[in-house]
């Protein structure tokens, strides 16, 4: 009964609440402090011992969502952050188990979505809250979308931003997005290295996508940014969470 209650609460949160390597916020602005309480910074320890970073977002007290290409040897999830140089009250939680999509294609970045089960529960507060997901039958193209993250803010800077940044993006219909369950945006403004795994948040403040990859067409032109299309993964999300909780 306890497991079922946890699952029901998560489903309610998901449903009822209103390189080709992605990473930095270009052309953006500083986010109002703690106005994106679902944002997570993933500190990743790689197999060679190096530390790298990805974005992510909180779905429930137990789960964070990110991109499958953000896989690592181990993780520390940082919640409640805004300015990493300031002494903020943050939560740091290790990851107990990872669930990359079983059909993730690392060459084409298809099914680039992953769930992380936290080793201990996140404590909800004014600065740490989950974000809702759209329904699986959402068929139209979302509007008024934005992405946020701590990635690089310009091409000459090799370091992450210490402050959470955000930029608005307009989704487009593109042939490169017809396979692999993706949304796309185009232009200089968008994500890059460091922002991978962060949410694509649209007009009703729900997470419609996961920042995935960026490519420049062979014919030239502007970059196209791709996001894993969350409505197409709702069944996978619910079943993955249910199976993980039943094993507790």
Mean pLDDT of successive 10-residue stretches along the chain, which has 248 residues? 40 36 55 95 96 96 98 97 91 98 94 97 98 89 93 64 90 76 87 87 95 81 90 96 88
Q: Domains in the chain and their CATH numbers?
A: 2-18+39-130+233-246 (2.40.10.10), 145-230 (2.40.10.10)
Find where tokens 């593109």 sit.
174
Instruction: Give the distance between the most distant pair of CA atoms in the chain.
Output: 57
**Residue 190 neighbours by CB distance under 10 Å:** 26
Name which of 134, 149, 207, 165 is nearest 22 in CA terms: 149
The catalytic residue positions are 69, 112, 196
Report the pLDDT value the prediction gives residue 20, as an integer from 0 to 100: 36
Report the pLDDT value the prediction gives residue 89, as an integer from 0 to 100: 92
Report the pLDDT value the prediction gives residue 203, as an integer from 0 to 100: 86
Contact at 8 Å (CB) between 70 and 83?
no
Report the pLDDT value the prediction gives residue 26, as an integer from 0 to 100: 53
């Amino acid at each position: 009964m306890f497991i079922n209650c946890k699952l029901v609460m998560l489903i309610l949160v998901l449903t009822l609440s209103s390189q080709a390597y992605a990473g930095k916020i270009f052309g953006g602005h500083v986010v109002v402090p703690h106005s994106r309480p679902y944002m997570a910074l993933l500190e990743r320890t790689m197999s060679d011992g190096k530390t790298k970073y990805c974005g992510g977002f909180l779905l429930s007290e137990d789960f964070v969502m990110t991109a499958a290409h953000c896989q690592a040897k181990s993780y520390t999830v940082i919640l409640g952050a805004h300015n990493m140089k300031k002494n903020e009250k943050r939560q740091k939680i290790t990851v107990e188990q990872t669930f990359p999509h079983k059909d993730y294609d690392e060459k084409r970045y298809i099914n680039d979505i992953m769930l992380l089960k936290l080793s201990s529960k996140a404590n909800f507060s004014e600065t740490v809250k989950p974000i809702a997901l759209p329904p699986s039958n959402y068929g139209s193209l979302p509007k008024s979308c934005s992405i946020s993250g701590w990635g690089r803010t310009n091409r000459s800077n090799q370091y992450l931003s210490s402050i959470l940044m955000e930029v608005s993006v307009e989704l487009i219909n593109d042939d490169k997005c017809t396979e692999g369950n993706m949304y796309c945006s185009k232009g200089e403004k968008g994500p890059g290295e460091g922002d991978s795994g962060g949410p694509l948040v649209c007009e009703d403040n729900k997470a419609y996508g996961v920042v995935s990859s960026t490519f420049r067409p062979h014919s030239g032109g502007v970059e196209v940014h791709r996001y894993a299309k969350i409505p197409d993964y709702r069944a996978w999300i619910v079943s993955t969470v249910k199976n993980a909780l039943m094993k507790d």
